[in-house]
A and B are shown apart, each in its own frame.
Chain A
Amino acid sequence: MTTALEIKNLHVNIGDQPILKGIDLLVKQGEVHALMGPNGSGKSTLAYTLAGHPAYEATAGQVIFGGEDLFEMEADERSRAGLFLAFQYPASVPGVTLAKFLRQTINSRRQAEDPEDKGISIPQFRRFLKEKMDMLGIDHKFAGRYLNEGFSGGEKKRVEILQMATVEPKIAIMDETDSGLDIDALRVVSEGANRLREEFNMGALVITHYQRILNYIKPDYVHIMMNGRIVESGGPDLALKLEEKGYDWLREKHGELEEA
């Protein structure tokens, strides 16, 4: 059975400020959707809202994930149900090592299934972690470092994908995972994501400003968000058109939205 993320007429406020003004989007497992749009248009707001950040308040609309009302679930339940967000700006967690954190993400899943579960064994976890780190070209010494503390921009992004590979989500939202990655890292990270697609039929919502990542993670659909609405949807060529022409033609086409 494939899982879908279905967003219907979603309105979201931050404080009193309306940010998302009616989003409709259907992402099915196995599909890749690219979400593009100018700075401040609301892409990360959508991502945070879906992941369950408490500061984002849905004022109207609905999101169904795997047949369930997403807003009835806490952030941790959403994750365990198979929804993943690779953050644009990952928080750092001082005092908690990457290894300890990843082990806990695995154990929390096992214990949600079976409260008696004693967790993954240390040797098994070590093997697992080593394999994933090698796949993403992450130095093993990162395992002992505090999560994201002092990591460079690109290192944080790699570690987001390492987390994605650890939890094997059904649908992943990748919020500007490409920004901050060098050319080689972009390829390695994209290959990692593609492998998850092949192995687990992962679906993806790839938020980006550039065509580059889409050369590796090939989108089935491209959507453009402006001022809290999706104003244009199309196939892969829409991203190429943006790359070439920028956003002005869309601003002209949807000029009235700018004032709203």
Chain B
Amino acid sequence: MMTAFTQDSVKKLSATLNEPEWMLAFRLKAFEIYENTPMPTTSNEAWRRTNIRRFKPDEIGPSINGDAATSWEIPDFLGKELTGEEVGGSLLQIDGVTRQYELSDALKEQGVIFCDMHTAVSNHPELVQKYFMTEGVQVTEGKFAAMHGAFWRGGTFLYVPKNVKAAAPLHSVLWSVNGKTFTHTLVVLDEGSEAIFMDEYASGEEAAGLHNGAIELLVGDNANLIYAGLQDFGQNMWQFNHERGRVGRDGKLDWVTSMMGTRLTKAFQTLELDRPGAWGRMSGIFFTNGRQHLDLDTQQNHNAGNTVSDLLYKGALREQSRTVWQGMIKALPGSQKIDGFQANRNLMLDKTARADSIPGLEIEADDVACTHASAIGQLDPDELFYLMSRGIPRKTAVEMSVQGFFDPLMRRIPFEGVRNRIFDRIVEKIG
């Protein structure tokens, strides 16, 4: 029998997960908002270029126990990555259920908390209650944020205590078989702490369904987070994501996003620079082919003076695929000495693909240096000729050139194994 997005499903899910009252109450409140919010249509400004008329959520349904994957098989390449590199903590979930988990003694001794979100709800309720969808993503942000609040399942919790520099990087892989994925990432870096976290969510091509995720990155005063969120779902998945990073005084957030899969993605990614000295860098890597549709909505909010934001999103497009990047830099009145930059560059590998690039500035302060750039280009024939003139076959030359296009961003991904995986994926997509 099909399970729809109903209040009853919320209760069942919460019961299955043995959740405390407060989380059930949270979910029910979110559900109420979900019910009272209409599905966005192209008449909503933010959804103008992304039509989801054919998306029927109740034909997919939430992920309640019983739907969870019966297959425990982990694709080889994922398993290898989990153990191949120097990692302090690793987590593998399949359809929201943890299958592998490790955290080094060094990190435990430091007091770093790294676990799946459900374990965090049981073992660290004070932290989760304080930070879960309070400062980061809000359930009131839209239909899908509310849906997420009500039906979230799986994902990772990372907490680094005050003045602790996490001894080694952390790595999560969230794999989906049943195509019902509602993962929640919550990262809290307390004052003066540091961490590197790689967060991958992916599925095989056979998975058909929905990823409705939320990512919350809370970077305290003087804290420093390197976060990479890497999406590689099959092309039968819909994806609706809300993501928000917040940075405190003199804090740093280096935020990398890679998007390779799904039939359609709409993601809202917001950087909030809350206190003077806050710095945030957003790097986007995407490659679409076939009939993929990718719509990224980014905001860089300078909520205080003396803040710096730097965004560079690069996409390669093939066949009939389409991408939209809509970026906004906002500066509140009175926030002086602001430096904001946004750029979007698209590499059109076929004439049939289409990329829309819409930068925007909303600046209510005057001592600001905000600039944007966007560019659409093809492979440079002189560059290809140069590579070929050294004996490199055309296909390899094209691959090198496309990889070169992404390389400056790829260098911002801390693990070589993961970089190679994305490179392989890019080469595969070039065809």
Contact = CB atoms under 8 A, between A and B. Distances in A.
A257 B388 CA distance: 35
Contact of B391 (A55, A79, A90, A95): A79
Nearest to A104: B392
B403 A79 contact: no
Contact of A80 (B391, B396, B404): B391
Contacts of A146: 404, 407
Contacts of B405: 94-95
A91 B380 contact: yes
Contacts of B408: 94-95
B400 A104 contact: yes
Interface stretch (A23-31, A32-40, A46-54, A226-234): A46-54
Interface in B105-129: none
A101 interface: yes
B379 to A, nearest CB: 11
Interface string A73-98: 01110111000010100111111100
A52 B400 CA distance: 20
Interface string B399-418: 01101111110000000000
Contacts of B401: 93, 95-96
B47 interface: no
Nearest to A163: B390
Nearest to B385: A53
Given A54-B381, A91-B382, A95-B407, A79 B400 contact: no
A75 B396 contact: no
B387 A85 contact: no
B394 A74 contact: yes
A104 B386 contact: no
Interface in A119-174: 146, 163, 167
A105 interface: yes
Contacts of A167: 390-391
Nearest to A93: B383
B402 to A, nearest CB: 9
Contacts of B390: 76, 79, 101, 105, 108, 163, 167
A87 B386 contact: yes
A146 B401 CA distance: 12
A91 B385 contact: yes
A105 B400 CA distance: 12
B394 A93 contact: no
B393 interface: yes
A75 B388 contact: yes
B396 A95 contact: no
A60 to B, nearest CB: 23
A52 B386 CA distance: 10
A191 to B, nearest CB: 22
B36 interface: no
Q: How large is the interface on B (under 10, 10 to 19, 20 to 34, 35 or more residues)?
A: 20 to 34
Interface in B353-410: 380-383, 385-394, 396-397, 400-401, 403-408
Contact of A108 (B380, B392, B404, B406): B392
Contacts of B400: 93, 96, 100-101, 104
B381 A51 contact: no
Given A91-B380, A101-B400, A104-B396, A96 B388 contact: no
A109 interface: yes
A93 B381 CA distance: 11
Contact of B387 (A54, A74, A94, A101): A101
Contacts of A100: 400
Interface string B261-274: 00000000000000
B81 to A, nearest CB: 21
Contacts of A91: 380, 382-383, 385-386
B403 A93 contact: no
Nearest to B403: A95
B375 to A, nearest CB: 13
A146 B392 CA distance: 17
B388 A93 contact: no
Contacts of B388: 52, 74-76, 79
Nearest to A53: B385
B406 A95 contact: yes
A90 B383 CA distance: 9
B404 A75 contact: no
A237 to B, nearest CB: 33
Which of B382, B391, B397 has the largest count of A CB atoms less than 10 A from its CB? B391
B88 to A, nearest CB: 27
A76 B393 contact: yes
Nearest to B409: A95
15 contacts: A51-B389, A52-B389, A53-B389, A85-B389, A90-B386, A93-B386, A94-B405, A95-B405, A101-B387, A101-B390, A101-B400, A104-B387, A104-B392, A105-B391, A112-B391
Given A52-B388, A76-B391, A163-B390, 14 more contacts: A53-B389, A75-B389, A76-B388, A76-B390, A79-B389, A79-B390, A85-B389, A91-B385, A104-B396, A104-B400, A108-B392, A108-B396, A109-B391, A167-B390
Interface of B: 380-383, 385-394, 396-397, 400-401, 403-408
* A-B pairs, 9 with minimum CB distance: A95-B404, A95-B407, A79-B391, A75-B388, A91-B386, A96-B404, A76-B388, A80-B391, A105-B390
